[in-house]
Amino acid sequence: MSHTPDYNSPSALNAFLEENDMGMQKKFGQNFLINQTAREKLAEATEIKENTSVWEVGPGLGALTSELLKRSATVTAFEIDRGFSQALATIFTDEIKSNHFSLVTGDFLKTWKTEFQKHGIPDRFFGNLPYNVGAIIIGDLINNGVRFNKSVVTVQKEVALRMEAKPSSKNYSSFSILCQWAYDIYPLMDLSGGSFWPRPNVNSRAVVMNKKENFPGCTHPKHFMNLQRSLFISRRKTIKNNLSRFYKDGDLASAVLEKAKIAPSARAETLSLQTLLNLSDISAEIQNLKVESW
């Protein structure tokens, strides 16, 4: 590994940036994790064995990357900042030569599908996800049928609470259902703003997402995702109202709810994942939608 900055020192990180004519860009939501204990705990939670393949999003200057590589992972890092990407190529020159580290420069949301088509799904997904797009990244992967065996990600605490939320709680949402459909989710640790530099104005939570072994399937996954999303568009409205708008047909909404044995006056936030999966299957059956794979 080539010369690296002191990842625990804001002054050393700032000096490194200045020496290399780089700066932090607020639009990318860049915050370095300067808590060594937290970095080690995140890497340990990823449960890496030799040559475990990992996608890392937002490596920055490689503080977490180095922890993965110490544990003999094979890391593909997605970095949107070209300056950081150039620094990573220098810091991890030896790892690039040994094929343990590769870089994809650009917006993850625009580049991951190409990487997926070339190399398939890696074993692990990892990263201190940018606050402004963390939920979008997770949702985009699940919506496209990509599930990793294990993911360890740090997100804004409010996002983590939505991921973990249970029915009838204020944080329960379409995003909760999407995440819990694909993964078993549990919190790893909370991180205050002081664990990062620059210090963010929000708190963070690291979460572990384990791929569900007994995946709760449905006959038409895309229909399920669209339907359940529509039910939360207007949380104050009944499921009958939201479903009628989704179908553009009130009679169809009534027929589906009757067969699913769901009260028209119910609200989506009270319904469990399994209830919504069953609702989707009945909806697809009544509409004669073809069974599709995900």
Contacts of residue 279, Cβ cutoff 8 Å, sequence gap at least 6: 227, 256, 257, 260, 262, 271
Task: For residue range 49-98, list pLDDT tens digits in order.
Answer: 999 999 999 999 999 999 999 999 999 999 999 999 999 999 999 999 99
Q: What does the mean pLDDT of the chain come to?
A: 95
**What's this model's pTM, rounded to 2 decimal places?**
0.94
What is d(CA 161, CA 159) in angstroms, rounded to the nearest whole number? 5
pLDDT of residue 290: 84
Quote the tokens at residue 96: 């690039």
All structural domains of the chain, each given as residue ranges with its CATH number in brackets, are 10-211 (3.40.50.150), 221-286 (1.10.8.100)
Residue 1 has pLDDT above 50, yes or no: no
